[in-house]
Structure 1
Amino acid sequence: MIKRKIALLGGDQRYLACMEKLAEVADLYLVGFDAIYPNENVPLHLIPFEELDAVILPITGISNDDEIMASFSQDRLYLPKDSFKRMKQGAFVFTGIASKRLRELADDSEVTVIEIFARDDVAIYNAVPTAEGTIMLAIKHMKKTLYQSRVVLLGFGRVGDIVADRFFKLGADVFVGVRKQKDIAKANSLGYHGFHLKDLDAYIKSTDLFINTIPAMMLTSTVLDQLTREQLIIDLASLPGGVDFDYAKKRELRVIHALGIPAKVAPKTAGTIIATAIIEELSQNE
């Protein structure tokens, strides 16, 4: 692979492992790491955007006012509005999921935005630390062992598939709620209990742990009315989640909205996954 010039702008703990791997194949400009790498950190206004092959933004991209999340900076960082315009044609901007604001800036330039988390392989690899983090939360907050516990998992996509497997292997009795008949068949064939989401009410009272992976309102006030404080809900869905959190709080139910688990429980693994995906994208466009 041709050695590229890449600017890494902000980020969280995942980006420490990410930069380590990227440094093997690229010349890096580090921005927003002054608190831990004061000698290597480069002020944002000194970045030669015209020379860059790629910019890597935080997984969260940029805010509506162009702020860059930088966990390791003592200053607040803002992306200059002409940054992308200054970059050469064919340059890349990497982020997790592109916000509307990021798209607006990119559309007014010649750069290509790559959403790392839109890649199937990244989502599948990330599902592993997500599943392990979910197990950690369950063990910490449940009042019984996972072994022989009754777990209802809502959704059977890339994350749900791995989560179901890991809980099943720990001896949990796993029930998988889905919408398609083929997914019910798949769940049953793997030793789980597949059921249609419309039949969720039949599984509520006897369940120890609910895990939601569907980014839509699944655990409504009607469903929550049937739960007790002994039961635990872990919501893995992205914002705004799949639980009526206000109503759950009113009823004093035990609910955890577990966002960004890979960054919290396995940042080194998550960062390596991100870097590998970026290197593959750049290699395909040499």
Structure 2
Amino acid sequence: MLTGIKVAFVGGDARIIEVIRYMIDKDATVALIGFDEIVKQFQGVDHIKAVTPESFADADVVVLPVAGTDERGVIEANYSPHPIVLTDEHFAAMPKHCKIVTGIARKYLEDACEKYQLSLIKLMELDEVAILNSIPTAEGAIQLAIQHTDITIHGSNSIVLGFGRCGITLSRMLAALGSHVKVGARKPADLARIQEMNLEAFGVGDLALHIGEADMIFNTIPALILNADMLSRMPRSCVVIDIASKPGGTDFRFAERRGIKAILAPSLPGIVAPKTAGQIIAKTLGRLLRKQESSWGNEA
């Protein structure tokens, strides 16, 4: 249980709703900021309308959206008609023991936590979150491919670029559906693992040798790998699903000019399976808070 721990939620999407429910069930003291439109769904929470520094003065944990803040401190708040901006005054008011929880962190948030000596937890960098999160990501990417092609996954020629957590899960799912899967990676160990999985491995530097036969390409590499030269080599019927973080790894301007369907689709778990994605976040956060709970009472 998390009795006695005060958790302040600041904005977010449907994934955060599951985290709020989890915290209430575990008896945490919950404050909601930026949930004006749905706050009535929750019983026994503190609804904060005006976001002042005092709102954070007694918070043990501040939970931000998965995307954190932008470079101006703006928070994504899907359930509030008003924008939320975290400023220096807000961070300065947080207790030194306060934990800031986010999915990813841009420079603005990292700098603020460093300046005010606040612990920053980036959940999407934790394997236990990222690996499980790759499941709805892969399912969502395949769903998009099905929607935007006129062929089946079974029997198709697919290319997966990158062999990280999402690349591994996606390659396995495509193969299970009967696709002929080629996977591009850089590390020799990854290329060996791809072969062990009975998939066709190639170095990303050799992409030009394989791209001409692709029916669909799934990119997970956050660098411009599908540039104009590569796009000019692929069939116009090929569909590109780019799940790398913004701005992705595709020249979308040239893809449109050439008539190739290319879709940038980051944050798929929050779109296709927000309940599952939220539960993954909630369970991991609960474990981390229980681990830290005993030390909070002794911190200044």
Q: Report the counterpart of residue 199 of structure 2 in structure 1.
A: 192
Please point out which of 30, 36, 40 is paired with 2:38.
36
Residue 248 (str. 1) matches residue 233 (str. 2): no
Letter in 2 for 1:255: A
Amino acid at match of 1:18: V
SS of the counterpart of 2:32? Answer: strand
| 1:271 matches 2:273 | no
Equivalent residue number for residue 25 of structure 2: 24
1:1-286 to structure 2, matched below 5 A, reads 1-3=1-3, 4-25=5-26, 26-38=28-40, 41-43=47-49, 44-45=51-52, 48-286=55-293
How far did residue 42 of structure 1 move?
A: 1.8
| Corresponding letter in the other structure for 1:281 | L
- Contact 2:54–2:93 (8 Å) recurs in 1: no
1:42 partner amino acid: I
Of the structure 1 ranges 79-88 and 199-208, higher mean CA displacement relative to structure 2 is found in 79-88
Q: Indicate conservation of the 8 Å contact 2:129/2:284, yes or no.
A: yes
Query: Number of residues paired by the alignment?
Result: 286
Q: What do you get for the CA RMSD once the two structures are aligned?
A: 1.6
Q: 2-side partners of 1:97 and 1:232: how far apart?
A: 28
Distance in 2 (CA, whole Å) between partners of 1:80 and 1:232 is: 42
Instruction: Return 5+ residue gaps in structure 1 as ranges.
Output: none
**Is the CA contact (8 Å cut-off) linking 2:213 and 2:235 kept in structure 1?**
no
83-92 or 229-238, larger mean C-alpha shift: 83-92
SS at match of 1:51: coil
Give the Cα separation in 1 of the matches to 2:141 and 2:58: 42
8 Å contact kept, 2:11–2:76: yes
- CA deviation map 1:217-238 (0-9, x unaligned): 1111111111232111111111
Moved more, 75-84 or 125-134: 75-84
Amino acid at match of 1:206: E
CA displacement, residues 157-186 of structure 1 (integer Å, 9 cap, x when unaligned): 111000011111111111111112222221
- Once residues 196 and 27 of structure 1 are traced to their aligned partners in structure 2, the CA distance between those partners, rounded to angstroms, is 51
Residue 283 of structure 2 aligns with an amino acid whose one-letter code is T
Q: Distance in 2 between matches of 1:77 and 1:48?
A: 13
Note the C-alpha offset of 1:48: 3.9
Per-residue CA deviation, residues 120-166 of structure 1 (Å, 9 max, x unaligned), is 11110110000110111111111111111111111111110000111
Give unmatched runs, 5+ long, in structure 2: 294-300
Alpha carbons 1:85, 1:110 under 8 Å: kept: no
Q: Distance in 2 between matches of 1:130 and 1:2?
A: 30
| Partner amino acid, structure 1, of 2:158 | V
| Residues in 2 aligned to 1:193 and 1:266: alpha-carbon distance in whole angstroms | 30
Map Cα deviations across residues 92-118 of structure 1 (whole Å, 9 max, x no partner).
001111111112221222321111111
| 3-state SS of 1:230 partner | coil
Displacement of 1:71: 0.2
1:183–1:104 distance in 2 versus 1, CA, 3 Å: closer
In the alignment, the residues of structure 2 paired with residue 212 and residue 65 of structure 1 have an alpha-carbon distance, to the nearest angstrom, of 29
Give the TM-score of the pair, scaled to structure 2: 0.91
